[in-house]
Amino acid sequence: MATGDLNYLLAAESPVVGLAEAFRAKGHELYLVGGVVRDAFLGRRHETPDLDLATDAPPERVKEIVGPVASALWLQGVEFGTVGAEIDDVRIEITTFRTERYQPASRHPEVTFAADVKTDLSRRDFTINAIAVSLPERAPIDPFGGVADIKARVIRTPVDPADSFSDDPLRMLRAFRFASQLDFKIEKETLDAIASMNDQIETVSAERIRDEFVKLLVGAAPGRALELAENSGLTEHFLPELSALKLEQDPVHKHKDVFHHTLAVMERTDPIPELRLAALLHDIGKPKTRRIDKREGVTFHHHEVVGADMAAARLRALRFDNHTVDDVSELIRLHHRFHTYRLGWSDSAVRRYVRDAGPLLGTLNALVRADCTTRNRDKARRLGERMDELEERITELAAREELDRIRPDLDGREVMAHLGIEPGPLVGEALDFLLELRLEEGPLGKDEAYERLDQWAATKKIR
């Protein structure tokens, strides 16, 4: 029933089996639980080497049994019934059988210890995660049909979904996360429960929503999962901009479906959080900038600027770190720049594109390529060729001009010494002038730069 990884973990020489024998000698039970068991039945490698174990022993008793054989102990979660340990280079968490319930906006559950493994498994989010393996016997414990649901590729709660989601409303979002990660279906009763109680997600802390949302985005099937989540009404409570992309189709001026275009762009990107976030949010400025007129048809002028600000505000509300907020909003701000150079790429245009993108250049190019979702093969070919041309021009200019270090030909000290001025705004103006020359014309060399600086200074009546 298990993959090679799980067979190894349950081998006689495994520290997990040895630990189980120590628990048994003290009159206690020990079970392997969690994602590693689910993934074993799926035949996939588990994403983390850490192991989750469950026991009837209370935390103090767990410490007594584990302490002598562990190279390290972690007790941060002991009030919630969890003892962490490292044994023979294997990191484990051992949790006393329990039930749990989250209070609004809390990041920690209210825990009640339980008497048996079935009760403990009933508090798990979904049946596919409510399977245990008894140790040291290595026998599967599956009271809620999780193995059958894995085979059927279905996500279902082990108890009534309304009860499960009331205990922890984040499980509603987690259902879509697993649908994305595993490319599973969500059972109808579970989906119906989410639709009827989706507003309860508002009681969950922004940090917990953020972490679950990112896992959804970098899954194997995020587009279908997000469409299901939007249809259920769940995303309206933490990402209302997504639903807003379902623009009404104008009967005269046809334009593509922005919502489904967005999902398609996202699925064309690599599973990198910042890139997927930028892809998902790159067009959220379109509803606010949408205009229809007889000459131009449907337009979204400056949607990238509006969208960048909207994305930054939404990501801050979800408690993303400043680095992620800045990178994603900048990618959105720049993603339409490519389309402004329809007549070809001058050296100046390439320099400015590279300068503005900075360290985000590769990610920006990946987003731009993904943004081409047209079904018109000829148009898609032309867009691809233009992107190829841009990247070739970047490579050529980089070899000649060190594009990743575009700076004025003179630094601030040289400007001040040459013009005989003190530090201040005038020095910044002079450097900005020289940088514009560098972008327009490429490297000037010191002599030419000083001559141009003199010409600029004359217009300012500095000398």
Omega before 136 cis (within 30°)?
yes
- Are 271 and 361 in a shared domain? yes
Give the C-alpha separation, 27 to 359, whole Å: 58
Residue 364 token pair: 């920006």
Q: What is the pLDDT of residue 245?
A: 92
Q: What is the pLDDT of residue 109?
A: 66
Residue 227 identity:
E
CATH number at residue 64: 3.30.460.10
Give the C-alpha separation, 365 to 240, whole Å: 27
Residue after which a domain boundary falls, among 387, 406, 425: 406
- Are 274 and 354 in a shared domain? yes
Residue 178 token pair: 């697993």
Question: CB atoms < 10 A from the CB of 45, how many?
Answer: 12
Question: CB atoms < 10 A from the CB of 212, how many?
Answer: 21
Residue after which a domain boundary falls, among 113, 136, 152: 152
- Are 274 and 388 in a shared domain? yes
The tens digit of pLDDT for each residue in 391-447 reads 888 887 776 656 556 778 888 888 888 888 888 888 888 888 888 888 778 888 888
Residue 297 identity:
G
- Are 378 and 263 in a shared domain? yes
User: Helix crossing, 425-441 with 446-460: angle to 10°?
Assistant: 130
The tens digit of pLDDT for each residue in 251-264 reads 444 555 789 999 99
- Are 139 and 159 in a shared domain? no
Q: What is the pLDDT of residue 451?
A: 86
Q: What is the pLDDT of residue 341?
A: 66
- Are 26 and 148 in a shared domain? yes
CA 55 to chain centroid, in Å, comes to: 33
Element (H, E) at 33: strand 30-33
Domain limits for position 446 = 408-460
Alpha helices (H) in 373-424, listed in sequence order: 377-401, 412-419
How close are the terminal C-alpha atoms of the chain, in Å? Answer: 85
Residue 190 and residue 157 in contact, taking contact as beta carbons nearer than 8 Å: yes
3-class DSSP assignment, residue 40: helix
Give the C-alpha separation, 196 to 211, whole Å: 23
- Are 414 and 298 in a shared domain? no
Residue 147 identity:
V
pLDDT along the chain (463 residues), means of 10: 54 79 94 92 78 93 93 89 90 88 67 84 95 92 97 97 95 98 97 98 96 97 97 97 78 65 94 97 92 76 92 98 97 88 73 86 93 77 82 77 70 86 86 83 85 86 70
Domain count, the chain: 4
Give the C-alpha separation, 278 to 293, whole Å: 29
- Are 262 and 390 in a shared domain? yes
Whether the full predicted model's pTM is greater than 0.85, yes or no, is no
Residue after which a domain boundary falls, among 117, 132, 152: 152
- Are 184 and 276 in a shared domain? no
3-class DSSP assignment, residue 161: helix
- Are 377 and 398 in a shared domain? yes
State how far the alpha carbon of 214 is from the alpha carbons of 174, 232, 364, in Å: 11, 19, 19
Alpha helices (H) in 254-376, listed in sequence order: 258-267, 273-281, 286-289, 303-317, 322-334, 347-357, 361-370
Strand-pair partners of 154: 185
For residue 257, which phi and psi values (nearest 5 degrees)? -70, 110
3-class DSSP assignment, residue 326: helix
- Are 342 and 381 in a shared domain? yes
CA 290 to chain centroid, in Å, comes to: 28
Q: What is the pLDDT of residue 314?
A: 98
Residue 191 token pair: 């989906």
Of the candidates 243, 247, 269, the residue with the CA atom closest to the CA atom of residue 258: 247
Q: What is the pLDDT of residue 3?
A: 45
- Are 50 and 198 in a shared domain? no
CATH number at residue 316: 1.10.3210
Give the C-alpha separation, 181 to 155, whole Å: 12
State how far the alpha carbon of 222 is from the alpha carbons of 5, 267, 284, in Å: 27, 7, 17
